[in-house]
């Protein structure tokens, strides 16, 4: 039996590849340092935030497979692709498949909320960081009352701190859950398309039919 002819095509540009692995290291460093090592935490978080902003701009002006217009699809395409995975008949895409594309948007959004709530918390708690003076107790005055004040190891927590800490922690766990699904998706698509997609995120090259 003839095996179908294939060739390799450059898909992921260097910004996407270097950015992806920087994001992975930055995210886990921030996650592991959140409780005890604030100076590391802060800088790892800034690296993540900076990359997310660059990636969003790149989604409009970047290379072909980096642009949102090329891979953000409606729910029909996303569920069609996921159904295809279960039957082994999912269509093979050069760039992100429709489910992967939805996951990119969800991850970037969740990381944006995680990092900006962290910066807002830092501004309110210590009047420091990029949002110092821009986000203050007063910003949350109309809604923070609902979160009350709490005693935390001798330190009075204001309603604004309570609220921002809650949002920061919630989005850390939402991001972790998305990362779990992201990895499951990478493994499933790699098996169905018989290609190591994690390696493609290193080399930038994917196998395509001739
Ligand atoms: C060791 C763990 C990881 C592996 C093996 C991995 C692998 C991959 C692969 C293969 C892709 C391309 C998907 C495709 O072919 O459509 C991708 C994309 C992506 N991954 Fe991961 N990933 C990992 C961890 C993470 C983490 C922790 C995050 C975020 C916190 C993340 C965020 C992203 C984003 C935003 C993209 C979109 C790439 C782009 O278009 O810029 N990944 N990942
Ligand atoms: C993806 C990036 C980030 C992740 C995964 C992350 C994760 C975490 C975690 C796990 C905690 C500990 C929560 C707990 O007490 O259980 C934390 C706390 C905190 N994070 Fe982040 N964070 C990120 C980005 C940032 C950024 C950019 C800032 C801004 C400087 C920031 C500021 C804070 C602050 C002020 C705390 C509370 C520390 C304390 O008072 O003990 N985070 N974060």
Ligand 1 center–CA 182 separation, angstroms:
7
At residue 152, the pLDDT reads 67
**Claim: this prediction has a pTM higher than 0.85:** yes
**Residue 12 covered by a domain:** yes
At residue 121, the pLDDT reads 97
Residue bearing the CA closest to ligand 1, atom 42 = 24
At residue 144, the pLDDT reads 76
* Residue 205 Cβ < 6 Å to ligand 1: no
154: confidence class by pLDDT, cuts 50, 70, 90: low
Q: What is the pLDDT of residues 162-176, one digit of tens each?
A: 999 999 999 999 999
Instruction: Give the number of domains in the chain.
Output: 1
Residue bearing the CA closest to ligand 2, atom 20 = 118
Q: What is the pLDDT of residues 65-92, one digit of tens each?
A: 999 999 999 999 999 999 999 998 999 9
**Mean pLDDT of the 184-199 span:** 96
At residue 163, the pLDDT reads 94
At residue 156, the pLDDT reads 74
* Residue 120 Cβ < 6 Å to ligand 2: no
* Residue 97 Cβ < 6 Å to ligand 2: no
Q: What are phi and psi of 140, to 5 degrees?
A: -100, 5
**Residue 153 covered by a domain:** yes
End-to-end Cα separation, the chain, in angstroms: 17
* Residue 119 Cβ < 6 Å to ligand 2: yes
At residue 2, the pLDDT reads 57
The percent of residues above 70 in pLDDT, for the chain, comes to 95
Ligand 1 center–CA 20 separation, angstroms:
6
At residue 49, the pLDDT reads 98
Q: In terms of residue numbers, what domain contains 154?
A: 6-209
pLDDT of 102 higher than 80? yes
Q: What is the CATH number of the domain that holds 135?
A: 1.20.950.20
Residue bearing the CA closest to ligand 2, atom 5 = 31
DSSP-assigned beta bridge partners for residue 151: 156
195: confidence class by pLDDT, cuts 50, 70, 90: very high
* Residue 159 Cβ < 6 Å to ligand 2: no
Average pLDDT, the chain: 94
The upper half-sphere exposure of residue 30, i.e. CA atoms within 13 Å in the direction of its Cβ, equals 25
**Residue 50 covered by a domain:** yes
Ligand 1 center–CA 75 separation, angstroms:
21
* Residue 186 Cβ < 6 Å to ligand 1: yes
Non-local (6+) Cβ contacts of 119 within 8 A are: 45, 49, 129, 130, 131, 135
**Residue 1 covered by a domain:** no
The percent of residues above 90 in pLDDT, for the chain, comes to 85
At residue 105, the pLDDT reads 98
Please report, for the chain, how many H helices and E strands are present, in that order: 8, 4
**Residue 84 covered by a domain:** yes
pLDDT of 120 higher than 70? yes
**Mean pLDDT of the 27-46 span:** 97
Comparison of pLDDT for 154 and 179, the residue scoring more: 179
Residue bearing the CA closest to ligand 1, atom 10 = 198
Ligand 1 center–CA 11 separation, angstroms:
14
């Amino acid at each position: 039996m003839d095996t179908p002819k294939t060739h390799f095509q450059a898909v992921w540009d260097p910004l996407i590849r270097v950015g992806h692995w920087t994001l992975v290291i930055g995210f886990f460093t921030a996650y592991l340092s959140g409780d005890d090592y604030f100076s590391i935490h802060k800088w790892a978080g800034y690296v993540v935030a900076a990359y997310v902003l660059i990636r969003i701009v790149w989604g409009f002006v970047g290379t072909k497979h980096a642009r949102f217009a090329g891979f953000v699809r409606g729910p029909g395409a996303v569920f069609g692709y996921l159904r295809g995975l279960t039957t082994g008949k999912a269509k093979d895409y050069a760039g992100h498949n429709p489910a992967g594309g939805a996951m990119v948007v969800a991850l970037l959004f969740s990381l944006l909320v995680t990092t900006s709530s962290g910066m807002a918390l830092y501004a309110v708690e210590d009047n420091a960081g990029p949002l110092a003076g821009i986000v203050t107790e007063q910003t949350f005055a109309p809604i923070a009352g609902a979160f009350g004040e709490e005693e935390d190891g001798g330190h009075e927590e204001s309603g604004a701190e309570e609220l921002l800490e809650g949002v920061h922690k919630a989005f850390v766990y939402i991001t972790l859950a998305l990362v779990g699904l992201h990895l499951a998706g990478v493994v499933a698509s790699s098996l169905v398309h018989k290609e190591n997609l994690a390696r493609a995120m290193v080399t930038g090259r994917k196998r395509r039919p001739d």
